[in-house]
Amino acid sequence: MVTKYVGPQIQQILGYSIDDFRKAGNDYGYALEPLKDLHLKGAPQYNPEPLGSLTTVYIFAVIAFLILIVAIINYVNLATAKSAGRAKEVGVKKVAGAYKSGLIIQFLGESVLIVTVAAILAVVLVYALTPSFNQLIGKTLTVNIFKNIAGVVSLIALILFVGISAGFYPAFVLASYNPVEVLKGTLNPGSMSKKLRGLLVVFQFTVSIVIIIGSIIVYNQLNYVTKKDLGFKKENLIIIRRPDAFFRQLESFRDQLLQIPGVEKVGFSRQIPGTDFNNNAFFNDEDPEKKTYLLQEAFVSLDFPQALGVQLLEGRFFSREYSTDSSAVLLNEAAVKSLGLKDPVGKFILQPRGPQQFKKFKIIGIMKDFNITSMHKAIDPVCFAIMDGGGGDQFATVRLTGNNVSATIKAIEDKWQNFSAQQPFQYDFFTDTWNHLYVSEMKTGKIFILFSVLAIFIACLGLIGLITYITNKRTREIGIRKTYGASIQIVLGLLSKEVVYLILISSLLAYPLAYFGSKYWLEGFASRVRISPFIYVFATLIVLAIGWLSISYQTIKAASNNPANALRIQ
């Protein structure tokens, strides 16, 4: 199809065959995309902004799974720590003839029952919070758990998976108690392999630290892209839609707006940053081979560059003093580099208009590079050319002084009504329009923060339970140390060592995971924030602070007891 239909047009416009066109490194082609994949995977060109992100979906799924695993680990730790209270029950049942397998089934059943109650509460919360979550993400998600058999089966499967996963090890430990040792009081119930307990706790804190680091990096990146210098001044800029409704009076409309005290500059264009520019072919006039160069071309009025606020590096802007500016162009630095030009001001670029026919455009100025798309993409080669009359949707770019903005906009609307009573006055602040390009990332950041809070909260529950268990097991030791004059600070340091040691190990494991994960996410941006090492240290300090507060509370509570009471514990 390309050879049949595009080939003759290339021959007509450029004067050589499509084969020669391809040999020069150029090509045309068609790309088919499944419609259902467009939202999450995007299309090669002209994506409906803002797109979703399949990567983000995977990241959230993994984080949700890890949070669930952390909760399971909490249950395992706490259930084994609290097993002392059930040791005699197991001993009596075994003496009465209970089998190990029957005890395992009993304890697994208890675990599944707890998870079933939790699942019921979770379903209620999901239904209750879905409207708020939809508002947060800007989508309309529906919950259909009980509307088909697949949803019910999935929920039952989840309950069984979590219940068995959480209850298997505690059930195995409880059912393995020797009844003789239990009833004689020689068994030390609640003891789990120190290595296994440490491994589970390290996993918990590794997940928490990774999520904390990820949340900070996501927040910093979003803050960076919304506040980074775009190469032009985006503040105090409003965009009015469809002034082409009275295109023959644009100059008069511009003059009227400039009489308003709050208006500084006015320009018109068919494209503005954040919309699709024309990806057009140009040639370097000095290139004997006439290689094709693609530039993002915008058709603008004489005053548009100044109204937009781009910075001029060389040459001059368009001017009414030069009638030849209708065939002049402004290029940005990326365009100059792409064309391979040196000392570009005053030189010419060519645009094909027919068989061996070209329109010559004189380069009159070089603009500093600026973004015309979101920072997911690198800065494009850009060319500004003068637009001719009407045709196509247009934009009026109005730069305000920033004083009494609401009154200024009302005055602009009054002027608009004088020129077009039928066409509605539609305007947007450019900062709002530009930030809309990152609406998906903004929502991602908010959800990341929620996940972080949830992960830290669940990890803290496990930490408090672990510290309570450690403190209870060492109550007698604390009493003896206090009897010999140990202060609360000494006891605090003694109990802190194990937890601090585990958190530091977790940090060493979390840092590379967080680094590679954040690096993978940041690859979606052409402009990226610098990742400071302090972010990693800060995440560890957060977890250490939470751990220290938990340890301090339990230690002070234990150390405040009368040593005599502790020493009387049997």
**Domain edges within the chain:** 2-30, 194-230+438-570, 237-437
Q: Which residues pair with 351 in a beta bridge?
A: 359
**Joined tokens for residue 523:** 């690859």
Cis before 50? omega within 30: yes
Answer whether 419's CB lies under 8 Å from 253's CB: yes
In the block, which residue shows the tokens 């040459």?
Answer: 315
What's the DSSP call for residue 96?
T
Residue-level pLDDT at 86: 64
Per-residue pLDDT of the chain (570 residues), as tens digits, is 888 888 888 887 777 788 888 887 777 788 777 877 777 776 656 665 556 677 778 888 888 888 888 888 888 877 776 666 666 666 777 777 777 777 788 888 888 999 999 999 999 999 898 888 888 777 788 888 888 888 889 899 999 999 888 888 777 777 766 666 655 555 555 455 567 777 878 888 888 888 888 888 888 888 887 777 788 888 888 888 887 767 778 888 888 888 888 888 888 888 888 887 888 888 888 776 677 888 888 888 888 899 988 888 988 999 888 888 888 999 999 999 988 888 888 888 888 776 667 788 888 999 998 888 877 788 889 999 888 765 556 888 899 887 888 888 888 888 888 877 677 888 888 888 887 777 777 777 778 778 778 877 877 777 776 776 666 666 677 777 777 777 777 777 777 777 788 888 989 999 999 998 888 888 877 778 888 889 999 988 988 887 777 777 766 766 666 666 655 544
CA 533 to chain CA mean position, Å: 20
Helix/strand/coil for 557: helix
In the block, which residue shows the tokens 């690859």?
Answer: 523
Residue 570: count other Cβ atoms within 10 Å of its Cβ: 4
- DSSP one-letter string for 514-535: HHHHHHHHHTT-SS-----HHH
> What's the chain's average pLDDT?
80
Write the pLDDT tens digit of every residue in 481-535. Answer: 777 777 777 777 777 777 788 888 989 999 999 998 888 888 877 778 888 889 9
**Residue spans of alpha helices (H) in 385-487:** 405-419, 430-435, 439-473, 475-483
Give the residue from 422, 502, 407, 458 showing the smallest Cα distance to 200: 502
- DSSP one-letter string for 17-71: -HHHHHHTT---------GGGHHHH--SSS--SSP--HHHHHHHHHHHHHHHHHH
* Pairing label, strands 293-300, 382-386: parallel
